[in-house]
A and B are shown apart, each in its own frame.
Chain A
Amino acid sequence: MSDASPKNGFNVVGTSPIRPDGLDKVTGRAQFADDFHLPNMLHGKILRSPHAHARIVSIDTSAAEALPGVRAVVTGADFPAVRHELLNLGTAGVLNIREMSENCMAKDKVLYDGHAVAAVAADNPHDAELAMNLIKVEYELLPPVMNVRAAMADDAPVVHENFHPGGFIAPTEKYLPNASRVQLGNGDPEQGFAEADLVLEREYTAETIHQGYIESHVTTVTWDSNDYVTVWTATQGQFALRDHLADIIQVPISNINVVPLEIGGGFGGKERLYIDPVAAFLSKKSQCPVKIAMRRDEVFRATGPSSGTFIKLKFGVKRDGTLTAAHLHMAYEAGAYAGGPLFLGIMSATSRYNIPNIHIDGFDVIVNKPTMRPYRAPGAPQALFAVEQMIDELAHELGMDPIDFRMQNLMRTGDRLVPGFPLAPIDTEKMMETVKAHPHYQAPLEGANRGRGLAYSIWFNIGEISSARMQVNPDGSVTLATASPDLSGTRISLAMQAAEALGIDVEQVSPTVSDTQSIGFSLPSVGSRTTYSTGAIVCEVAQEILKQMCERAALLWETDAADVSVEHGVFSNKTEPGQSITFNELAARMFETGGPISHHRTGHTQSFIPGTAVHLVDVEVDPDTGKVDILRYTIFQDVGKAVHPDYVEGQMQGAAVQGIGMALNEEYFYDDEGRLKNASLLDYRLPTSLDVPMLETVVLETPNPAHPFGVRGCGEISIAPPPAAIANAIHDAVGVRLNSMPMAPHKVCAAVNAAKPAKAA
């Protein structure tokens, strides 16, 4: 619903105009990466390892090369040794370029089912596939390690002879042959547990999950005779892709142009390159453009999913409900190479409660699965599945209302987070009070096998570097370019912020996403940062545009620029009452006043901006089959300021749907040899439209002081609470705790059956 009336002093922000890319997307005209074609374009196919862990003894590509229509074949031998193994990213840690290259194409060893070992480019996809199947690879099989506990066991097979710990914000040390360790803490946990009246210890596991974006990875690359390389693809970050590609294919960064096309979902899974270097080398060899399009099974087997975990908790609490101590053992899969989402899991585990004595022992564990990559609030759903169940269980044991218990231990603005810095301004108390007063929380829940549960999350926006360029045109229209790929309607949310700041209609602003040669550097569209961080930079650019336009008006009026004021798109001469000119009129006169009006800025914004969310859910459990049906679901989320309320609601609901999917059914299912058995949308079991009810949304708006309109990024947080909220609701319904995610029907059934004799006794 569009609401055009101004609210709280806003004219554009807070309304819901239609996004500029919407119509083409629903009519099928939008250009996604697979819609892109070039003359003489070849088609590449990648041969992938059927083994989880093996040494490559030999690769024979002769039969493939001899097949008519085949133009190039590449293997790991075509990937040059990297010039610098480790790239220092400052606060973001370290990036291992060698491992990134070998993840795109294996050299000596394959480390997971689906690891690329060779690739073919041919005149058509059919010939490429035939040729691919003619490549002979001899493997020497090695024993695979398939989960964190197996990888951390004494006699575990070693995946890497040597590895560098992944890049985390806190100090990380190599700890075991397959694991690195991060430790954080405050106070004296031993003393804290001694002060506790009740101490609970619990273990929780979660399986590997995938983002499940609709569009698979597709890229088209040309490598021309001057070593200029152009990439057309769907990516969350064209600059990250460019820089990583330059390191792997070893051409100057300035020779590479990455053109981001429409993206069919990313959720964190499209901020890393997989097939682009392969297409680049195939293009270099064949001297033709090369397109590679992953099939769905390749996406599941060989792109970055999110970690399976093993989390062991010990929490202590006083009888009055005050948390005294916590110990968290958090082991997260890193996949084939070190550096999974562990640290973000740690950050999200308890960063909403004040626990005076706490120790967090984190492990980043190498296993024979694809390299783990971010997935919407990376690491948080797994951490909350453990901690929010523990909190619920403690409240239950103490006989306290779950909200009152959380209120008693609630972290507020300025309270110290585990890594030491204070929580940036947000109203956590209002969130709790809103939930408690809501009709859903107050409504009685009747009927057998029905239960209610909730979970609470704080999740942080990344700020850092964004770029924007604005150009005022003589017809009064404004071209807005940013370097932030649009995953979720950010073109309109950025255009709205530009229009608000300029005091013009949003229809006057045409937003685009630029390639790497047309705009300054930006971090990818990750970490709930685009509407917040890029939005703040857009507002800064708008201020500069208005400043330039005030100078133009001053020229026309032969006065000082300081005498010109602007409000709602009208410039006025403060010294000459009645003398004014509209934005459009002034734009039309730009060539009389000095020429084009434009500004480009690459700027920096603050990180660790908190957002809060509580999810409240009613379920009904069929104790005979283990099926969990969701009866009612309410999402409470503090978004700072909802720039586009309809799309904010869409983000809240979309994230919750993904959280519900991982709560109930989604998981990677490997056989004993480490082969992925459910690499299809049929058997991976993403939720369908019939698996989720209407998701009610309650939007809270506590302004973010780091953004001119108070915006907080809202895209990620609501994926985190669903598994814990549903687990707590299942407990309320049938009295059993599910400590293993997904809470698939067979697990619910087994838990209910196991509880039966105890009930009878």
Chain B
Amino acid sequence: MKDFQYLAPRKLDEAAALMDAHGGSAQLLAGGTDLLIFMRNGRKSPDVIIDAKKIPELTRLQLDDEQLTIGAAVSCRTVWEHPEISERFPALTDAATLIGGIQIQGRATFGGNLCNAAPSADTVPPVIVYGATAHIVSSRGERQAPVEEICTGPGSTSLAADEILVSLTVPRPRANSGAAFLRFIPRNEMDIAVANAAARVDLDEAGETFESARIAIGAVAPVPLFVEAAGAALSGKPVNDESIAEAARIARDAATPINDMRGTIEHRKQLVEVLTARALRRAIARAGGGTRGQT
């Protein structure tokens, strides 16, 4: 590991100024569960580490009547320990409790997971289906972007070298809404997704018809993939096996996986269809609807 300088600003504008000054040679450190490994194996060798965990805006976790705000440096464990978040946003908890073991969950963050931009990132499909917005700051100003526009390829994002992801805001789901996240790993713990899928459904009051839905899949494309067409196909459709199967098929067709040590193309495409269908069933059950669709 190369020598580096460690900086821990306590204010967001200070952090933005440091990012501006050091440009591409600086790396923001949240939980470090990816960054430290990359520094050890030589994949990244920053001159400057800027710790995000002393900046109030990045460590804030707040649920109000409108939305949930997750600071970019809030740990997965802080999220899943929050009882109301688990109740209102179960797909976030599905993902936050799956990443690594207890120690990793205490360090790893939603913001870090997004900015690390792994195609297999487990927290990204859930925030996509919840319609989250990313809040970004630099010394040049602030901007917002839909969360599905952040990752642009394996390890790369739409953030400029001087930009800081401050937080994600997630709108509160309405009534008769449910969501779920599932991943497939060959082991039962401590593994990287071969494929994953998140689904959110908004049902009518009777729980028999989809009013809208969002589906996102992971580890089957260069980025965690928002499959808009799969959700759109469910709008106005009855909650039944046929609708679910059709949406799952669209998700499968959207997948463009690769063969690697973690899985094969054929298996990943099958998994994404199976997981999408299963996530939809679980989401429907959580929305209190569709007895025929329940798992």
Contacts and interface: CB of A to CB of B under 8 A. Distances in A.
Interface string B162-194: 000000000000000000000010111111101
Given A129-B1, A678-B261, A745 B187 contact: no
B71 to A, nearest CB: 27
Interface in B257-291: 260-264, 266-267, 270-271, 274
A750 B189 CA distance: 23
A665 interface: yes
Given A129-B1, A626-B267, A677-B261, A682 B192 contact: yes
Nearest to B267: A746
Contacts of B260: 677
B186 A685 contact: yes
A749 interface: yes
Nearest to B265: A746
B274 A126 contact: no
Contacts of A685: 186-187, 191
Contacts of B266: 746, 749-750
Nearest to A681: B190
Contacts of A691: 187-189
Contacts of B187: 665, 685, 687-688, 690-691
Interface residues of A, number: 27
A624 B261 contact: no
A431 interface: no
Interface in A728-761: 744-746, 749-750, 753
B261 A625 contact: no
A627 interface: yes
Contacts of A664: 186
A683 interface: yes
Interface in A115-134: 126, 129-130
A627 B186 contact: yes
B271 to A, nearest CB: 6
A669 interface: yes
B262 A683 contact: yes
A4 B186 CA distance: 43
Nearest to B271: A625
Contacts of A626: 267
A394 B270 CA distance: 33
SS class of chain A's interface: helix, strand, loop or mixed? Answer: helix
Interface residues on B, range: 20 to 34
A368 B3 CA distance: 35
Contacts of B270: 624-625, 749, 753
A690 B274 CA distance: 23
Interface in B133-185: 184
Nearest to B187: A691
Given A627-B186, A682-B191, A690-B188, A126 B1 contact: yes
Contacts of A130: 2
Contacts of A129: 1
Contacts of A750: 266-267
Nearest to B188: A690
B12 to A, nearest CB: 33
Contact of B263 (A677, A678, A746, A753): A746
A123 to B, nearest CB: 15
Contacts of A753: 270
B184 A625 contact: yes
B192 A749 contact: no
Nearest to B263: A746
Contacts of B263: 746
A683 B262 CA distance: 7
Contacts of B192: 682-683
Contact of A690 (B2, B3, B189, B264): B189
A129 B191 CA distance: 29
Contacts of B261: 669, 677-678, 683
Residue among A126, A665, A685 with most chain B CB within 10 A: A685
B264 A746 contact: yes
Nearest to A676: B261
A626 B269 CA distance: 13
Contacts of B271: 625
A129 B267 CA distance: 40
Interface in B216-275: 260-264, 266-267, 270-271, 274
Nearest to A628: B186
Nearest to A678: B261
Interface string A594-613: 00000000000000000000
Nearest to B264: A746
Contact of B184 (A627, A665, A689, A690): A627
Contact of B190 (A627, A669, A688): A688
Contacts of B184: 625, 627, 745
Given A129-B1, A678-B261, A745 B274 contact: no
A559 to B, nearest CB: 68
B189 A688 contact: yes
Given A685-B191, A750-B267, 6 more contacts: A625-B270, A627-B186, A682-B191, A683-B192, A691-B188, A745-B186
Those 6 A-B pairs whose CB atoms lie nearest each other, nearest first: A746-B267, A669-B261, A690-B188, A624-B274, A690-B189, A678-B261
Interface of A: 126, 129-130, 297, 624-627, 664-665, 669, 677-678, 682-683, 685, 687-691, 744-746, 749-750, 753
17 contacts: A625-B270, A625-B271, A625-B274, A626-B267, A627-B184, A683-B192, A683-B261, A688-B187, A689-B189, A690-B188, A691-B187, A744-B186, A745-B194, A746-B267, A749-B266, A749-B267, A749-B270
